Chains A and B, each alone.
Chain A
Amino acid sequence: MAKALNDTLGVKRTIKHFDFSEPYWEGTKQKKLVIQYCKATGKYQHFPRPVSIFTGRRRDIEWREVSGKGVVFSYTVAYRATPAFRGAEPYAVVSVTLDVGVNFVANIVNCTAAELKIGMKVKPYWRPLDDGTHLMMFQPDNGPA
């Protein structure tokens, strides 16, 4: 069952941003993962929201750079794709628990179907987009901690 996985790097993406997500996308221009942090509770949240999901307040939100390292929480392999991804099947979508305690859904590159496992360590892979931002993806993290 060691089927090949496509990395989806060739899929064209045009992403419309919510205005309250802009600091995230700004960060990706420098290949930095910048996510929301709630000052009142000391917890991170992802995806970006207009308020803290912990306190309901706008003023508790700030943006912090994080490593993007984490472990695979779950994964699925798409054999049937959304229109933009047709021809790229099969490809994996992973949900990763980042080391700051949030889950992040993305694709994974440089990884075979046989290697992909729940609990495996991953780190960011930045795929350039036409607007100067980057798309956060993951790749296996085999390096020293």
Chain B
Amino acid sequence: MGLRDNAIVAYAETKVMEKSDRDVWVLSGEILEELLDKTGIDKNEIDGLVMAGLSGTGAGNPFWAQTTADVLGLEVGFCEQVHIGGCSAAGCVARAAAAIDYGMCEVAFLLFADTHVLEDHTDHSHSYRREWTDPYGLMGPPGAFGLLSRRYEAQYGLDYRMLGKLAVTQRSHALLNENACEKLRVPITIDDYMNSRMIADPIRLLDCVMRADGAAGLMMMSRKRAKQKGLAKAIIPIGYAELTNFKGGENLVDVTKSGHEICGKKALDAAGLTIKDIASFHPYDDFIIAILLQFEAFGFCKAGAGVQFIRDHDFSYNGDLPLNTGGGQISAGQAACSSHNLVEAVRQLQGEAGKRQVKDTRNALVTGIGWINYGRNWGSSAALVLVPE
């Protein structure tokens, strides 16, 4: 048994909302209902609940996953909350597969539910921030990415218009995605990107993800069980790796490098693929420059060559390297525990992406970025390779 003996048999997703008009558990119930309806699975067959811990609404409750199991009436042999920030959604897939392999559950409900605009209990006070960055007014992620961008520019040069190109492509995808946040479904140009107001120079407004509310979910089981049940559109995770606190035992670290260099190679090796084989790319996007850094870290191009790589490729859903075809988080909204790019990849491989359907559905590479560490780039990196059955 291993990762690839498991299958994602269905996905579900609410529309992304600027602010939810209903409770996070109502959204969770909608996801559960949709997954049950899609798969024909009986509610009582679910014996695993795997929740992304990146929930502002759930953050104040140490018993969040258990409470949610109770609210939804689920009796489970495996109850898990995954806490690797923006890597949590991909991390949930790997942990559900491990639990199924180990026999702790047979049918896992993966739930990504958050209404952090409506109700946020996030508390960063017990962290380095209170002594080492809050007293200097460094504003969380935008501040950290401002430092990171300026350093990248000094090392390699940075044509901001090429970051704008990525922003425009992702926005054009959100226009084709009815589940994207309505506020963001407005076309933009590279000039709009360049002229958007500075937040943490050189980070502009249109570099940044917008927090939004919503929920999504996946249903997983063994590949064998999926076949027995006739769930033919199964998506198979064939490679996964994550890394937290890259070079955490070193002082001076090149902030243009990340744990993706390591976990990207591991995940691709496990999948038996090289980066050139990747048919569509769904990288975690909290800031546009994170996509450029991932082009380099995953080996699409060499370190420092990200701008040229962007110039040379078409990242539209019908281009040579389809990128975040649902709009990415930056143009769909940062909702549902940052699971948007994962759910979009599953949808694409199932051939259900409608007007934005990619042609090549041989595989998809999904990534995660989680948490901001002191004076570096990010705390966790993840990579997940998916293929259709």
Contact = CB atoms under 8 A, between A and B. Distances in A.
A and B: partners? Answer: yes
A107 B139 CA distance: 13
A35 to B, nearest CB: 11
Given A15-B130, A80-B142, A107 B137 contact: yes
B257 to A, nearest CB: 14
A2 interface: no
Interface size class of A (residues with CB under 8 A): 35 or more
Nearest to B147: A74
Given A47-B374, A106-B136, A53 B199 contact: no
Interface string A101-113: 1111111000000
B44 interface: no
A135 B202 CA distance: 26
A122 to B, nearest CB: 14
Given A45-B251, A73-B151, A101-B251, A78 B137 contact: yes
B136 A105 contact: yes
B244 to A, nearest CB: 14
Given A105-B138, A135-B135, A118 B151 contact: yes
Interface string A8-51: 10010101111001000000000000000000000111010000
Nearest to A45: B251
Contacts of B277: none
Contacts of B133: 105
Contact of B137 (A21, A45, A93): A93
Contact of A97 (B131, B137, B252): B252
Contacts, number: 112
A114 interface: no
Pick from A43, A76, A91, A97 the residue with the most CB of B within 10 Å.
A76
Contact of A13 (B135, B148, B149, B375): B135
A95 B375 contact: yes
Contacts of B354: none
A66 interface: no
Nearest to A108: B136
Interface in B124-182: 125, 128, 130-139, 142-143, 146-151, 154
B248 interface: yes
A102 B135 CA distance: 19
B203 interface: yes
Contact of A15 (B131, B151, B199, B250): B131
Given A74-B148, A74-B150, A80-B139, A102 B199 contact: no
B271 interface: no
B232 interface: no
B198 interface: yes
Contact of B143 (A76, A88, A118): A76
B249 A53 contact: yes
A43 B251 contact: yes
Given A78-B137, A95-B375, A103 B199 contact: no
A4 interface: no
Given A16-B131, A18-B131, A75-B150, A81 B249 contact: no
A47 B132 contact: yes
B130 A47 contact: no
B252 A103 contact: yes
Given A44-B251, A101-B251, A84 B137 contact: yes
Nearest to A100: B251
Contacts of A43: 251
A82 interface: yes
A82 B200 contact: no
B255 interface: yes
B23 interface: no
B45 interface: no
Nearest to B249: A53
Interface of B: 125, 128, 130-139, 142-143, 146-151, 154, 197-203, 248-252, 255, 374-375
13 contacts: A8-B137, A11-B137, A13-B135, A15-B130, A15-B135, A21-B131, A75-B147, A76-B200, A77-B146, A78-B200, A79-B198, A81-B139, A97-B252
Given A81-B137, A93-B147, A102-B251, 17 more contacts: A44-B251, A73-B375, A76-B138, A76-B200, A76-B202, A78-B201, A79-B198, A80-B142, A82-B137, A82-B139, A84-B134, A93-B136, A97-B252, A103-B252, A105-B136, A105-B375, A118-B150
What 7 pairs across the A-B complex have the smallest Cβ distances? A76-B146, A85-B137, A74-B151, A77-B201, A79-B198, A118-B154, A74-B147
